[in-house]
Structure 1
């Protein structure tokens, strides 16, 4: 009988506030701050410091190590429309996901880029989305239709930023190739290329009024351009010149520019450098800019006069003086007159991204600016006149650096994790952070009996006692002179409260400790520890473990060996040698029969603890094995490594059962619940992941076949990319097809071809039935049950509608010419349905552009195209008229609603005017009476 195992699946990810490789963005309301958190988007309520929701892609069961890393969020953009809750996220594999923030659901996935998406920008209405990538291409997407419009090619290096010019229907892009390009969205062509920067351009932005465009690079200056509108007069030589150089402003910092952004009102400009500073500039009004220019000209004239002397006064002409008649003209307004440095904001750590809040969170502030730092922190500053004050910080929900050790309590209700400067207590069921306690660089940890106290071994050799309930550090003991690498509790025979614990350090010592109670100054009792004996070794101790029956103690040394001693007498028992590099982790099974060791040589070795023989050596990971643990009362075990993988093994059959993919960096540690129903792993990416055991069984042969298929497919992809013809550099401002072929595209093509073949076979059967019916040879026609009662035309239409909107063009491009002709024969039937006019137009356009030469040489295609020409034009015109009528009706209804909503205010205003008039009449009457009395 084939043995079945229970599957482990990802359930919870916590500990990550913001990723280093992603930007941050606000939702249109300004209440939530969206931050990339590895492969998901976290929506933070910055006032409360809590995560409101999380936008996560569906869990991927793939065994490929790169599948998780390819889902990492690299860019975020939220729709500027206040009525929309659409959010776009770009990922490391080039895909783009559109999310509905109100439902926390992914609406669609757009595939077009072949490399990581670097920038996303919505237009003003939120109907178009532009994306730039490391593949040097720009793709324009229709958000409503969830499909790509066209691809713009011309940049020679990574696209770094994009911005829409909605007033002139243009798109401006910048790249690491040192050029700024202006694209006409109607002509789909590059109409202007701007040079001037001496290094890579990293960011650009335009103010809301679309007057100025600013670019930032590694140059010490910010370059500004004036945007020419179509209404402005221009001769033929400059009619394509959308951007006109305006001037430069020298920056205060020396680091390269990472991001430049205007706030929503356009009054402030923030320049984030690739360091710890953000320069904030004020955009002055036109009147203030003119007065500033006049003062500048006056000061310049005074300086020149002072240098030239009084005798040469008549020969001095300044920038604002007319040389012909000596009259003073209006001074030229420079960029330094318009933009004034307001504030230089400095932070404690390197800044990764910035975002202006579209709403003002507090009164008296000019704007609110949020920053993401590279130590997993979000900070929000209130910018006022002359100062910037920190208002909110999100930092408690994650560590500042990588997680080095994790430990579960005896009842699995709380969990401990250590990092370079803090210990955090978590609820493993919800992922909520309960306590944060400052401590040293913790390399190992464990709970004391009763779970009220915890022990932390640090890199400096100190042993720290933590009171979990109060969240305080009660005692710091100088236990070792070097780093403490391992803390192992000693359990008594009843397997209840522990008798003590053991520490192993790099100072060659293995120390035994026991718990004691001491009275404090207040008279209460407090837990403390005391060293009872020491085992001296001849090399650095890397890891220590004891058997569950407290009979043996195993010590792994830096000399690549493992020494096993009797725990009671500390006499030598066994020496396990065979690893080529030091053993970094080990564990003993619950029955004491097996001991497993994981090493820096990437191998797992399973040993028998009775004779010390090596049962099996397994090449387990692609990099060092960092931790390994047995599931209690079984011979199943989990291992983690620097290759970012978590692996599930059967130590009896020496077989790999599952590979759990999810972490984005090296996995340092793991812990398993008492009953083995869940596993928690900690990683260098600052995340803690929980993997739960499900009731879904799986078989070893099936999993092995899946892994072989995935390896085969990955090899095919590598070979295709290796031997594919190298693309030449794109033509200046060329246009391409927006999508790309994926596995889902080929699957959709197969379904469409199968539907066409089934429909064709059904039509032939029906024709044969009609011919036989005339001869009275058959009875009633029996339709094909696979068509589910649909006609051949409807059956093919159903297959076409199942293809995702963004993948339709690529699917049609993969259709053979014969199948394309079959598909076009059904278009005249589908056009009768008013809901499918747009779909028919898209199919017709793509097939005509793809197979034009073959169609004009195929006689059978001419009558079909003639019919389509007549029907398609009339159907499109009818659909256009209906849309126009509906738009006019909606505008009329909007006007009526505004009139009705204003009616109460108008009535109140009329009544108020009437009361004022009556009061004024009364006052005039009283004045007249007083005058008469005086007379």
Structure 2
């Protein structure tokens, strides 16, 4: 502790058994709290870890004495004190947020996040709410007084790096490794907008005392100033008002449907390239949707906990039953049943004739990531953040197989056209090939240096193609069970991938604002289009090489792809 008037050291507080990395002073200036976690030291051109003691210590500034040692975290990374000075809140990479009573020096509450690792948090000015971000991009809002979770969002596609709250406590601003900032309304518990301009990870955010401006710093070596007040102004633009998150072309190839975080779906005419209708009804972002095999109905899921069945001729229907946000939607091959997964850890099978729940499937220990239909069987495969996959028999309403092997959340799943094998991608950086017939793992394929973002299988069933946050596209030979090749060219995270109907070309999108086309035979890039912002969704029209693309600003584009010439996308 230093005397700022004399510039002299006043006292040294000794007690931690590891590096001290965070310090916070109580509002009355009486106490200081410190944390200790691992640090790294460069010795002889090699990084060596110095273990922290993973404790929080409370010191009396007047006496220069340690008052208490607070234990409970596996790895504490941050500490804050509520404005009234009564409580301290600590976050940890073990996935917990702990609330400590600073009068009795004890833990009074522990909040368990959905992710294994909390990366950022902030407390509202009244001390009632805490907003936390996690390694998997989740943002959660909790009531510190009751320990009740108020809201959860999966909007950022990469880890949340920073969270700040406006002085009036009405809005939160989050920054992420996905290069974006998002503004959240803490009264309505909804996303207001996404701020896009940085070309690299957002590292720090500050808000002016008036709450009018946010200033963000980034690994792109820039600072940007954002006017938060202008977010209230209504703007009209072609397409969606927020990022497009999915595009699907109807089976007859005449229409495309797009969904967005603005809570709407739009139907587009592929011949005229014009919007036909906007489907409004969800009170939260659309998280997933499917089109029935006959192309007549759309089933969408949302963070508002509901599904909606959209039928332009017969009218719409709302399906209610989930207790948390819907994360994934699928449709059976006969079009009779919709299947939904949710943050509530359940899977529900819905009868589309009467809108009733046929069966609720329970068994996963964390939220559902994806649901896939197994061809030619009345079975589905679900993946979860509990690191497992489950195969469910829809006739009997039970899980028949649980596939265990990943050490991270399972983020994407693809099934071979013959329905005999599953390929899964996980946050542990690996792909696994599973045999449905033998009910076992066939192979584990490594190669990505970071988590895969999505995986698809070529229509001929020979290869699996995965995109990753490590900027590469991997081609997996499913017969030989090896990584055939890596496609390199993206300069930022590869987020989307698809394969043309002839199994010849791969199309990928990235945070580097590009859409690239690759030749599977030669493993070379044959075409590239660069946009103003990242492309966030696309689908390919079979046999006609038309690509419908959505971007992070909500715009929808129609490209005609002519191969093999370079730079040959046309509107």
Q: Could you state the TM-score of these two structures normalised by the residue count of structure 1?
A: 0.29
**Larger relative strand fraction:** 2
More helix per residue: 1
TM-score scaled to structure 2, two decimals? 0.46
Q: Higher relative contact order by CA 8 Å / sep ≥ 6: 1 or 2? A: 1
